[in-house]
Structure 1
């Protein structure tokens, strides 16, 4: 059948028009792009999908075709039926028109059947009123904080989510179980458990914000708060992160610093990186290994650098003979 419009609206296949309208209002209020500026691209796609589902199922003719032939059947309907086929059959303007029509009816005089949020004043310029904007309601009176539905939004709830460098390096999926109050039948407050999924992308950094719209506690007459997780970084035993670079400090003996050594560094992907050091390691020397740092989230396939700093371990004491030998070698083979 392709797209399941019933599943999108979370209704049964025998849903009534009233069921469809209630489901659409609830989901449209939640996913309208104006309400989700932090995830606007995702919200726009979801909002279009919800509006398309409602547009089809609330129309008896289209719903009958969809129930019998599915989404492909709708594509075959001629433009004379009011529903054009092809991939361009639905767009953001359609979604906004549906939204305006459904919610506009809630503020009009009962004797009026319908109206549009789009009005054309005498000067010829059109204006659009959104239930999420700071403009006045249709009757011209000042709006309360929140939407023209008269609802206020609870302030967002923020929580830190500590993550390891391994999770930032490889990516990870975190499951967060939450308990929240929701408004049940008859306005009764009930507690439900939910599991939220956070997909940590390789290259994410401390301070990244993940928003779950309206996942806070619900209250009658109040829009539930957004639940926001702020990504934090746990300390690591081997590495520190500096932007997209990984920095580590390796201990070497004085002999290794002067004559060379081979390092074996355990990396964040559980593999060991073998690095030969043939150069002389002097104070504040730093060895750079390109592309072995953190993945760069905005540039897939690219990584920062691995920067190796050194701590040279000097001997506590030397014998007279050892001192003489070292002096002879450092003086180019002359007499000690």
Structure 2
């Protein structure tokens, strides 16, 4: 059985006599609706497939003079281009050049050069010159017109500890991406990059490597975006630029005073003494300037907030109860 070409008009939900403006309008509307970044993980795969089909349809129909040339079969193969048999169609004459036939110009010879296809021809002529020898260098790679659509960025997670986000660090990362070779084959290539994590960076901070995502024929390379993810810390919890430390003390220490030591996020040892203070439920001790650094503000740090959890006794004797009543009578 033969392959059945995809109906690009059906993909864009437009009639086959649609104008270039109508094609563009349909594409913008559908691309906005199905952009993967606007969909939750549960429907992201479907959105990516829809977005890819919409982009492919727009690429094929956006050049009005050559609609239908790039029909694509469902298995991904392409039918032979009719340009090789029929030659390049004539372009409309322009004022002062009514008799010129562009199908016989140097552009036609360039389009028929072995190894070149209609796509190369399109990019060279759309680069703004009728002389391909001036438009050739980088014309295909640097063109940012409607046919060179850029896929959504590829997001990857970069996990960091609170210590790394406090001091700053250097992360060496490696990842695999698809690359299109000169012969059109897609191969996998390993990339290595260095990310310098700055003190104070927060969860969700994004680092973008432009053009280092997967490559696809006819598209600009995607960007790769790494976003910071904080590893759970056994002692501290980050809240904005502050650090929260939970300390558990017995009831007798909360009422009569206590001293306890702990290590700060930077590793320094700190001692807190509570001699003249009663630690009650909800009590919070604030240590200024011992939180996380504030990104972009040298020398500025958040605070350390110590929250106390008081451990009550599970049972008391009759004598202890009587003594407590006498001791706490009149206490406020």
TM-score (norm 2): 0.55
Segments of structure 2 that go 5 or more residues without pairing to the other structure are: 1-123, 136-140
CA drift of 1:281 comes to 0.4
Aligned to 2:150: 153
Q: 2:129 aligns with which of 101, 105, 108?
A: 108
Secondary structure at 2:183's aligned position in 1? Answer: helix
Q: 1:283 aligns with which of 281, 284, 306?
A: 281
CA drift of 1:112 comes to 10
Aligned to 2:242: 245
Distance in 2, Cα, partners of 1:111 & 1:174:
45
Whether 1:301 and 2:322 are equivalent positions in the alignment is no
CA drift of 1:328 comes to 2.7
Aligned to 1:266: 263
Distance in 2, Cα, partners of 1:220 & 1:251:
61
CA contact (8 A) 1:176 1:197 kept: yes
Distance in 2, Cα, partners of 1:212 & 1:176:
12
Q: 1:182 aligns with which of 179, 182, 189?
A: 179
Change over 3 Å in CA distance of 1:112–1:228 after alignment to 2? closer
Deviates more, 1:210-219 or 1:188-197: 188-197
Q: 1:211 aligns with which of 208, 212, 226?
A: 208
CA drift of 1:149 comes to 8.2
Aligned to 2:308: 310
Distance in 2, Cα, partners of 1:239 & 1:112:
64
Deviates more, 1:222-231 or 1:319-328: 319-328
CA contact (8 A) 2:208 2:223 kept: yes
Segments of structure 1 that go 5 or more residues without pairing to the other structure are: 1-102, 115-130, 133-145
TM-score (norm 1): 0.54
> Please, what is the CA RMSD of the aligned residues?
2.8
CA contact (8 A) 1:105 1:113 kept: no
Change over 3 Å in CA distance of 1:165–1:258 after alignment to 2? same
CA contact (8 A) 1:159 1:230 kept: yes
CA contact (8 A) 2:125 2:132 kept: no
Aligned to 2:6: none
